[in-house]
Amino acid sequence: MQHVLLIALGDFKARIMRYALTALAIGVGVALLVALMAVSDATRSYVEQTLLRVYPADIMMYSDSINIPLYLLDVLRKSPAVASAEGIIITTGVFNGKVVSIVGIPLRDVDYFAIDLIEGRLPSADGEAVVEESLGLKPSDVAIIKIYSGTIGGERTIQVRVVGVMRSFLKGFVGAFRLNLVVVPLDWLQRSLNTGPFVNTVLITAKNKAEVKALYTSLKETYTDAQVYTQESLLETVTKVFNALNVVFSVISSAALATAAITTFAVMSITVRERLREFGLLKAMGIPSRDIVLSVLAEVVIIALLAGIGGVAIGFYGANVVKQLLINMGVNFDVAITFRYTYAVTGFATSLGVAVIGALSPIRKIAQLRPLEIVQSWR
């Protein structure tokens, strides 16, 4: 085994620049793969944590019309399986040409909804509102909102006085999630929309997570006019979205890795051809083909190791650099990108796989050649 390593190290030193460029090609593909994984995982984690914070309920009942009576909440709260039940109104409107989402919440339980204030305070009286920063409003501003929604069966106009500004939902780094929220007192919104003691959304928390499924089934069968969702189903939807994005990311990184494999094949093919006479002499000296193949394979592993280390490091830190550049450009992408051991495992496994695949054909050629054929090929 010692002579195998000596042969490998001797050739590696002689062709160090060529192998360094090969490692660079593989490392670029690995870096791209790790960077995409890190960004995807960080974004997924942030979205899930944010959803769990702003949607703390285990089950949500929603109706297109404001037709869920408030007394239903008292019925639910008396259930031995229910820890809490909160009723709110969610509807849409238009302010300065922007579609806004108006949410009426009970002021007595305002902390339940985890409003992330930037400035100002929470609403405490009729007509007061907290708005998302995306609307460009400040405390003491007055906003007139027109509501066109099937939930109220016609058009209404409400006027709110801004008392607080909150961060955009998901910090607005994904445009599709820019909801332009306007949060107002529930009872005031009910009077303004003339809905009476009704809501269109109920958030329910179970006492025992194991009872969520049974509670969900019971509510779905009992209240057929409302749509019933679980927090788990919402998170599954998020997972499906990111799985689809990961497929796109995989295609992008695969293209770079395929290029790296082709580069490895070309470099190792040239190297094997240049060393044919050397291989013939080694075989003539009694060194078995297996040891020669192992020496070349050792060189490939060294290349893969260097590419893996560089690719994982550059990919992870590169993702953080791109994140900071986006923030400096004004894009809200302030998500925590943390290192995970799976990045290193995936990076090294990918690097080794690409290097071996690229070198497989040249290595096979070495194993099949005989000393006499090698000598004849050099006449």
Report pLDDT digits (tens) over 338-374: 889 999 999 999 999 988 888 888 777 777 766 565 5
- Measured distance CA(100)–CA(63) in Å, rounded: 19
Q: How much is the pLDDT for 230?
A: 85
Q: How many CB atoms lie within 10 A of CB 47?
A: 20
Query: For residue 229, what is the enclosing H or E element?
Result: strand 227-230
Q: Binning pLDDT at 50, 70 and 90, where does residue 130 land?
A: very high
CA 34, CA 351: separation in Å to the nearest integer?
11
**If you compute the radius of gyration of the chain from its CA atoms, what whole number of angstroms results?**
31
Q: Which contacts (CB < 8 Å, 24+ apart) does range 90-94 have? A: 90/62, 90/200, 90/201, 91/66, 91/147, 91/149, 91/151, 91/152, 91/193, 91/200, 92/147, 92/148, 92/149, 93/145, 93/146, 93/147, 93/148, 93/149, 93/158, 93/182, 94/145, 94/146, 94/147, 94/148
Q: Which of 211-225, 284-298, 321-335 has the lowest mean pLDDT?
A: 321-335
Q: How many Å apart are CA 60 and CA 230, to the nearest integer?
A: 6
- Cut 0.85: pTM above it: no
Contact between 171 and 332 under an 8 Å Cβ cutoff? The reply is yes
Backbone angles phi, psi at 58, to 5 degrees: -80, -30
- Give the residue from 40, 14, 13 showing the smallest Cα distance to 315: 40
Most confident among 49-58, 134-143, 223-232, 270-279 (mean pLDDT): 134-143
What is the reported pLDDT for 50? 67
d(CA 215, CA 217): 5
Q: Strand 181-185 relative to strand 98-105: parallel, antiparallel, unpaired?
A: parallel
Question: How is residue 212 written in tokens?
Answer: 């969520």
- 228 in Cβ contact with 104 (< 8 Å): no
Task: Classify 156 as helix, strand or coil.
Answer: strand
The pLDDT, as a whole number, for residue 188 is: 94
> In the predicted model, what is the mean pLDDT of residues 207-219?
86
Examine the pLDDT at 148 and tell me if it is beyond 70: yes
